[in-house]
Each structure stands twice: as structure tokens, then as C-alpha cells.
């Protein structure tokens, strides 16, 4: 039976070092939808403040000390099904078609790439620590307890911590994150297919729920975190980016994006694959984007949007964790494609032979991934 409590509401605050999240007088009542659907009313939790003042400063210094951040470019085109399409063509095509959350004038794919290929590096991956000092964040008690409560799953296993840097003029198209299933994940299969699988709800039994927390360390100009807690047809909530705050939610289910970071010009930023953004030293607050030795742009902290994301697997029990670790209950790609094809036929969306790979991919995204419309 679904628990009779709920974490909700922008503005509900979790204090530093919160007590374990649990049903109680602090929680608003309400029956929860069954977990795992793209829910009508998603649960999320804001943190303000997230850390102590000193800890938040330490995170900024850690980001600078890390040195430089590469452009997180397209992870390559698909092979096999969806051949020739970008990995996240679902979000990219929607962005181009609609002009994003505000229905802006259309841009071409190259400008879109410059706007949406932000800078990223990984601070921790499982037990591998790439940015010493990040350990307390990886095991943040408030994140773990809140994930446990929101997902109603007791075994929370932090999996990755990574930093994103967006510079003036950059933004992130509305999307849901790439989910993971036992046997099907982004390392071996197209990202858009993982997304389709989740939105179809045909593979919920194999899905591995992932909690995501996004945290911020400046008062950024623009770059709000926009998300749709009431579903794609509901209103967007734009959470401004404020120093030492965070939000935790199911970003695999809830559509979200990043509004454009304020820029002096309307031009797409001049970023192309291979560039890196470099700190000019711990405590300097100054950064440069470089292509090799050539300086492309100079920035200060308050022009940038820096976030750290935390993702954790949320297991129902040890049996589920063991099935994942031991790969004892894995989905196979041909089963996934056959199941989707059967469902399309049942819905009257497909007749005759299965279309060519690329066309099949486009039909799947069109059928199952229903994006929020642009704001009026």
C-alpha cells in the first residue's frame, strides 16, 4: 500500500543535517501515486541551506582546485537502431521544433550545440574519488534520507557526483534524464531508447529508480532550474539558482531544463568540441575558455552557473540490488524492441513491416515522449 505521506512544495526547507525524513507532523498529507510512473504530481524536496557556510565555500574552492572542465559534447551518434540520429534527438528535436520553454526563434543545430553543450567533469564515480574533498557530499545524509523517503525505497546507493558549468548564453533543453534498466543502460544502448522505455511504462519491472539532487553555489544571473512537477501538461516551476541550495527529485521522470544563463549578446556562445574552461587558480574567481592555447572567452564566477549533481540508485531490497549486481534478471534489446513494436501495433500506430531503423526510432520517440508545450 502506498504510504500516506508526501514530500512536496517548493519552499519546504530541509535544514542542514536534517533528521531522517520520515512520516510525521512535518509532512503534508496525501496519498501517493504508485511509484515508478511519470507521476501526475511529482515529489521533490528543496534544501536551503544545503551545507554549512564553510562547507559551501569549500565546494567552490574544490571546483576551482579541480582545474579545468571539458565540453560535454554529444556522446556520438547511434549505431543500429536510430542510426544517424543524435543520442538525445528526442530533446534536441523538440527544442528546435518548439524554440524551448519560451518558444524562442528557431536556431540551427550548430547554435543549439553551442548553447547546450556545457562543461562537465566527474568528481566521484562509485567509490572512485576524482575530486578529493567531495566525499562528505557523496554521502550527504540529507540526500540519502530524502531519496529514501521520496522514492519509498530503503537501500540508497550513491553512484556518481559530477559538476556542470554553464557559461553566459548557455541553457539546457527540456528533457528527462536517461534512466537505467537491468540489462539496458546508456553505456551499451542508445540514450533516447532508454528514455522511450521509461515513458512507455512497458518495462517498469526492470527499471532502476535513480534519485538526483542538483546543488548550486552562486546566485546566478538567469539559468533557473525549470521543472514540471505536475507533469508535462502542468505549469513549470523555475527554481532560481542561489548559493548553497539544492533540490532532489526523480529527474528521469520529471521534465526539466535550465533556462538561459544571462548573456550580453543574443549570439550563441563560441564553444565548439575540444574546448575547456580553466580556473585561473583557487580563490581567484576567474575562468578562461581555451581552445588549446588560444583564449576564447574570460568569465568570473558571478557570470557562470555552476552546479553539482548527485545521483543514487534506490533499491527496494537486497534481492533487487543483487539482481542488478549479478545481472540475473536482465532485459535483452530484441525483447525491448519487439515489446515496443507490439505496443505500437496495439495502439494502431504501426501496420505492416517494422520500418527502417531511423524511422522506427522517430516513431517511438513521437509516440511515447510527450514534452511540455512552450509557455504561452
- What residues make contact with Fe ion under the rule CB under 5 A? 177, 251
Cβ proximity of 150 and 250 under 8 Å: yes
Residues 6+ apart with CB under 8 A from 74: 86, 87, 113, 117
List, in order, residues 6 or more apart from 266 with CB less than 8 Å away.
none
Q: Pick between residue 308 and residue 363 the one whose CB is nearest to Fe ion.
A: 308
CB of 256 to Fe ion, least distance (A): 6
Asked whether the bond before 309 is cis by omega within 30 degrees of 0, the reply is no
Q: In terms of CB distance, is 64 or 180 closer to Fe ion? A: 180
Which residues are within 8 A (CB) of 126 and not within 5 positions of it... i.e. 6 or more apart? 159, 160
Q: Compute CA distances 208 → 24, 182, 255, whole Å.
A: 27, 7, 18
Burial class (CB in 10 A: 0-12, 13-18, 19+), 296: middle
Which residue of the chain is nearest Fe ion when measured via CB? 177
Q: Name the residue nearer to Fe ion (CB basis): 177 or 180.
A: 177
Which residue, 127 or 187, is less far from Fe ion as judged by CB? 187
Cell triple for 7: 514530500
**Least Cβ distance, residue 62 to Fe ion (angstroms):** 22
Give dist(CA 154, CA 76) in Å, integer: 36
> CA-to-CA distance for 115 and 231, rounded, in angstroms?
25
* Least CB distance to Fe ion at residue 93 (A): 17
- Quote the least distance from Cβ 257 to Fe ion, whole Å: 8
In this complex, which beta carbon is closest to Fe ion, that of residue 78 or of residue 176? Answer: 176
Work out how close the CB of 177 gets to Fe ion at its nearest, in angstroms, rounded to a whole number.
Answer: 4
Minimum distance from residue 210 beta carbon to Fe ion (Å): 11
| Beta carbon nearer to Fe ion, 177 or 250 | 177
**Cβ 176 to Fe ion shortest distance, Å:** 7
E-only strand ranges, 30-166: 44-47, 68-71, 119-125, 128-129, 155-166
CA gap 375, 220 in Å, rounded: 22
CB-wise, 223 or 340, nearer to Fe ion? 223
Q: Which is nearer to Fe ion, 251 or 253 (CB)?
A: 251
CA distance 334 to 360: 14
Contact indicator for 344, 367 with CB cutoff of 8 Å: yes
| Least Å from the CB of residue 68 to Fe ion | 23
CB closer to Fe ion, 88 vs 189: 88
Cα three-residue angle 257-32-251, rounded to 5 degrees: 20
Q: How far is the CB of 99 from Fe ion (least distance, A)?
A: 19
| CB of 258 or CB of 340, closer to Fe ion | 258
**Beta pairing class for 172-175 and 237-239:** unpaired
Angular region, 242: left φ>0, alpha ψ -120 to 50, beta rest: beta
Least distance CB 2 / Fe ion (angstroms): 26
Amino acid at each position: 500500500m502506498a504510504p500516506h505521506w508526501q514530500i512536496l512544495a517548493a519552499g519546504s526547507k530541509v535544514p542542514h543535517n536534517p533528521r531522517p525524513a520520515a512520516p510525521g507532523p512535518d509532512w503534508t498529507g496525501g496519498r501517493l501515486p504508485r511509484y515508478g510512473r511519470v507521476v501526475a504530481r511529482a515529489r521533490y524536496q528543496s534544501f536551503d541551506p544545503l551545507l554549512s557556510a564553510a562547507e559551501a565555500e569549500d565546494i567552490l574552492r574544490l571546483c576551482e582546485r579541480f582545474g579545468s572542465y571539458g565540453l560535454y559534447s554529444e556522446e556520438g551518434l547511434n549505431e543500429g537502431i536510430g542510426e544517424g540520429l543524435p543520442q538525445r534527438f528526442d530533446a534536441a528535436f523538440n527544442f528546435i521544433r518548439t524554440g524551448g520553454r519560451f518558444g524562442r526563434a528557431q536556431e540551427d543545430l550548430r547554435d543549439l550545440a553551442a548553447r547546450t553543450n556545457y562543461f562537465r567533469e566527474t568528481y566521484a564515480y562509485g567509490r572512485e574519488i576524482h575530486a578529493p574533498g567531495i566525499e562528505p557530499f557523496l554521502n550527504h545524509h540529507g540526500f540519502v534520507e530524502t531519496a529514501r523517503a521520496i522514492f519509498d525505497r530503503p537501500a540508497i546507493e550513491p553512484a556518481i557526483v559530477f559538476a556542470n558549468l554553464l557559461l553566459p548564453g548557455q541553457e539546457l533543453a527540456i528533457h528527462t534524464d536517461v534512466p537505467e534498466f537491468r540489462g539496458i543502460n546508456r553505456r551499451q544502448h542508445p540514450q533516447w531508447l532508454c528514455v522511450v522505455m521509461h515513458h512507455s511504462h512497458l518495462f517498469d519491472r526492470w527499471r532502476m529508480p535513480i534519485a538526483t539532487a542538483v546543488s548550486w553555489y552562486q546566485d546566478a544571473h538567469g539559468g533557473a532550474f525549470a521543472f514540471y512537477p505536475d507533469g508535462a501538461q502542468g505549469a513549470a516551476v523555475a527554481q532560481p539558482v542561489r548559493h548553497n541550495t539544492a533540490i532532489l527529485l526523480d529527474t528521469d521522470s520529471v521534465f526539466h531544463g535550465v533556462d538561459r544563463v544571462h548573456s550580453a549578446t543574443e549570439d550563441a556562445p563560441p564553444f565548439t568540441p575540444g574546448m575547456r574552461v580553466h580556473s585561473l587558480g583557487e580563490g581567484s574567481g576567474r575562468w578562461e575558455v581555451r581552445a588549446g592555447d588560444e583564449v576564447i572567452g574570460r568569465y568570473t564566477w558571478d557570470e557562470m552557473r555552476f552546479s553539482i549533481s548527485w545521483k543514487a540508485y534506490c533499491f527496494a531490497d537486497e534481492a533487487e540490488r543483487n539482481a542488478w549486481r549479478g545481472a540475473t534478471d536482465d532485459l535483452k534489446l530484441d525483447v525491448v524492441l519487439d515489446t515496443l513494436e507490439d505496443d505500437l501495433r496495439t495502439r494502431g500506430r504501426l501496420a505492416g513491416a517494422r520500418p527502417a531503423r531511423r524511422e522506427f526510432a522517430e516513431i517511438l520517440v513521437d509516440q511515447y515522449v510527450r514534452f511540455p508545450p512552450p509557455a504561452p
